[in-house]
Homo-oligomer: A and B are copies of this chain.
Amino acid sequence: MIIRLQTEDFDAEREAQALDVKGAGARVSFVGTVRDTAQDRTITALEIEHYPEMTHAELSRIGASAQARHNLQEVLIIHRYGRLACHERIVLVTVWSAHRAEAFAGCQAIVDALKTRAPFWKKEISPEGALWVPGQTPQDLK
């Protein structure tokens, strides 16, 4: 499992090739990008803050849980932080599995868990000012 937190952009295909997973059959990737509008406001950039030590630990837990539950051969998570302009890539989640159903379910489980568990906070920068994006609370704490 590869977990990376970085300010730089990534190339999803090159990252996947570098891992060189053999015989997986199915690979599913999710790429999230900065949207250019939110509730009809124009977004020019996103500022992403995170809790580095916890982010790495939490992403590892999320990845390991999905890997075990969905029979994933390999998991790759790259999440950027800092200031990202609109349309820039934010996150890459790629999983490999023998079968397509497991690959889809595993990738989606990781992306869903990122939304509710990973300690990131986003501030949307628009011409009218900056606004924190409302976050989510982990299910098991509700």
Contacts and interface: CB of A to CB of B under 8 A. Distances in A.
Contact of A30 (B16, B32, B37, B100): B100
Interface stretch (A18-26, A48-56, A57-65, A125-133): A18-26
Nearest to A103: B30
Given A29-B29, A30-B100, A35 B12 contact: no
Q: This chain: how many copies in the complex?
A: 2
A100 B11 CA distance: 20
Q: How many of chain A's residues touch chain B, expressed as a range?
A: 20 to 34
B98 A108 contact: no
Contact of A33 (B24, B28, B35): B24
A33 B25 contact: yes
Contacts of A28: 28-31, 107
Interface of A: 11-14, 16, 22-33, 35-37, 86-87, 98, 100, 103-104, 107-108, 111
10 contacts: A13-B13, A16-B31, A23-B37, A25-B33, A27-B31, A28-B30, A28-B31, A29-B31, A30-B104, A100-B108
